[in-house]
Amino acid sequence: MAKQMTEMLKGTLEGIVLAILAVGPAYGYEITARLREQGFADIVEGTVYALLVRIEQRGFVDVTKAPSEKGPPRKVYSLNAAGAEYLNEFWKSWSFLAERLEALRLEGK
């Protein structure tokens, strides 16, 4: 993927993962796989796990353990109230940015 994507993801990936969790609880491995399916082919697992640790420490998600058929137990994350509010702020920031960029794109041609 374009190297620009790497930098663009900083700050947005967090929102993306929170948005995924807003749809329903999920665990790290699953989230990574879902991102890959949706076209974020180059997102490394380590990145997702680190992000999950961060949002857990900031209290945006609740965590439960669930057994897996194969492999270590899954850590299932679900968005809580604080996380939902933070996600809402994220959407505001994103909307602002997207509007500004759309305006610039039109202006440029």
Partner DNA sequence: TACCACTAGATAGTATCGCAGAATAGCGAC
Partner DNA sequence: GTCGCTATTCTGCGATACTATCTAGTGGTA
Residues of this chain that bind DNA (CB under 7 A):
1, 5-7, 9-14, 27-30, 42-47, 49-54, 67-76
Return the structure tokens found at 94: 């994103």
Binding-site partner at residue 54 among DNA, a copy of itself, none, CB < 5 to 8 Å by type: DNA
β-pair partners for 65: 75
- Which region holds residue 26: left if phi is over 0, alpha if psi is between -120 and 50, else beta? beta
CA–CA separation, 90 vs 81, rounded Å? 14
Helix (H/G/I), strand (E/B), else coil: 85: helix
In angstroms, give the least distance from the CB of 78 to a copy of itself: 14
In angstroms, give the least distance from the CB of 79 to DNA: 16
How many other β-carbons are positioned within 10 Å of the β-carbon of residue 86? 19
- Choices 7-15, 25-33, 41-49, 62-70 (CB under 8 A): range interacting with a copy of itself: 7-15
Binding site for a copy of itself (CB under 8 A): 1-2, 4-12, 14-16, 19-20, 22-23, 38-40, 87, 89-94, 96-98, 100-101, 103-105, 107-108
